């Protein structure tokens, strides 16, 4: 499915996917989730020159062929393409302090690197992955080999949303047993953050959303309370302050709104409260009163849940197979790749948690 230009429906096109070059892998995509970051690039992003492109970055598939010098992957391997690479050689990969990689793509590939063409025109690959396609070509430093029994229509969600929220709670916030947490926004990322708080041993997990239908789903993942900001005539930070005797220990913003980011920070207890920015946005500046941090709160960000991608994703797949991590419960709609525009609309209206698209073309 090809995005020819911003803010327009995706179009089913036949594209040419070139053979993999050195250190590259061509993957037959079996299933892909539809993530809000895809919508962000299509409708809100600043990079209007990032078209035409093939969106999608939350997929799973099977290795179809490998380029020269690829030694750790073989045709038939089940894999998850990664929008955060792990080369293992750069200063970031060698540091335990971050999961960034200097060789990664965080937007669209350049024309010289993409392996897609359509009607004689170069087509860009979104975040180096492009899973809204029957085939894609990805550098081996951005591919995770996973357990051969893993169901691809479920573990694809570990390519972005679930790993992002779950790791934000465990790896970035470092939620502690017995603590009180607040999660702002109950899409897939927020629900995964709730699950992370639960698995970390939090005692109270307050789920916050303006859609009251989200609470029953949040309880499945471990939420103990629900607050709808629309039900109150005072700031949500004040509501939480009063509910928790001074603020929560940990808050996670999973919306991508700078206003909510500030509310999440101000909801933390002074002295040791930690607030994590998880929702993706690059549209606006964010701000807070300096006293919020001077008083001992910490404000930090999380990308892909802090997981080093090639190491972390296979472990998450194994945890799912061992029933330590939920995935099935995130999927509210199963659709086909041809229905991607319907899936996008469901996400825009908030009527789904995750739609998973079957990519095998009929």
**Whether pLDDT at 361 is above 60:** no
Asked if residue 105 has pLDDT above 80, the reply is no
Res 69: pLDDT: 95
Same-fold call for 2-161+306-358 versus 174-301: no
Q: For residues 137 and 131, what is the distance between their CA atoms, to the nearest angstrom? A: 10
Which pLDDT score is estimated for 46?
59
Q: What is the mean pLDDT of the chain?
A: 93
Sequence ranges of the domains in the chain: 2-161+306-358, 174-301
Any idea what DSSP says for residue 284?
S
**Class of domain 2-161+306-358 (CATH, top level):** alpha beta
Rounded Cα–Cα distance for residues 358 and 334 (Å): 7
Each residue's pLDDT tens digit, 288-346: 999 999 999 999 999 999 999 999 999 999 999 999 999 999 999 999 999 999 999 99
With 90 as the cut, is the pLDDT of residue 244 above it?
yes
Q: Tell me which of 263 and 45 has the higher pLDDT.
A: 263
Which ranges of the chain does DSSP label H, i.e. alpha helix?
36-39, 152-155, 161-167, 188-199, 214-221, 236-243, 258-266, 290-294, 309-321, 340-349
pLDDT of residue 47: 62
- The answer to whether the predicted template modeling score (pTM) of the entire model surpasses 0.75 is yes
Q: Residues 140-195: pLDDT tens digits? A: 999 999 999 999 999 999 999 999 999 999 999 999 999 999 999 999 999 999 99
The fold of 174-301 is Rossmann fold (3.40.50)
Contact of 279 with 257, CB cutoff 8 Å: yes
């Amino acid at each position: 499915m090809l995005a020819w230009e911003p803010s327009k429906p995706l179009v089913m096109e036949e594209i040419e996917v070139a053979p993999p070059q050195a250190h590259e892998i061509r993957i037959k995509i079996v299933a892909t989730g539809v993530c809000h970051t895809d919508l962000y690039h299509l409708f809100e992003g600043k990079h209007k020159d990032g078209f035409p492109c093939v969106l999608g970055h939350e997929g799973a598939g099977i290795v179809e062929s490998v380029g020269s010098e690829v030694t750790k992957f073989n045709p038939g391997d089940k894999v998850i393409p990664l929008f955060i690479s792990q080369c293992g050689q750069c200063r970031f990969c060698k540091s335990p302090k971050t999961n960034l990689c200097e060789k990664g793509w965080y937007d669209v590939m350049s024309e010289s690197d993409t392996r897609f063409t359509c009607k004689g025109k170069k087509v860009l690959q979104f975040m180096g992955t492009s899973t809204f396609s029957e085939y894609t070509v990805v550098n081996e430093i951005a591919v995770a080999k996973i357990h051969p029994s893993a169901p691809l229509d479920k573990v694809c969600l570990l390519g972005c949303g679930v790993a992002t929220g779950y790791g934000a709670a465990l790896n970035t916030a470092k939620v502690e047993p017995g603590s009180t947490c607040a999660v702002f926004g109950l899409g897939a990322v927020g629900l995964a953050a709730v699950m992370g708080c639960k698995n970390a041993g939090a005692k109270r997990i307050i789920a916050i959303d303006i859609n009251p239908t989200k609470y029953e789903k949040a309880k499945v993942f471990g939420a103990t309370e629900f607050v709808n900001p629309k039900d109150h005539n005072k700031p949500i930070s004040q509501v939480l302050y009063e509910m928790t005797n001074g603020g929560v220990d940990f808050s996670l913003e999973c919306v991508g709104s700078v206003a909510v980011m500030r509310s999440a920070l101000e909801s933390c207890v002074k002295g040791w409260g930690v607030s994590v920015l998880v929702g993706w946005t690059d549209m606006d500046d964010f701000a807070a009163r300096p006293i919020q941090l001077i008083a001992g709160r910490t404000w930090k960000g999380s990308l892909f849940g802090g997981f080093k991608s090639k190491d972390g994703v296979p472990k998450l797949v194994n945890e799912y197979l061992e029933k330590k991590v939920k995935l099935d419960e995130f999927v509210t709609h199963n659709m086909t790749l041809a229905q991607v525009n319907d899936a996008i609309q469901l996400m825009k209206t908030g009527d789904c948690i995750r739609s998973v698209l079957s990519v095998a073309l009929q």
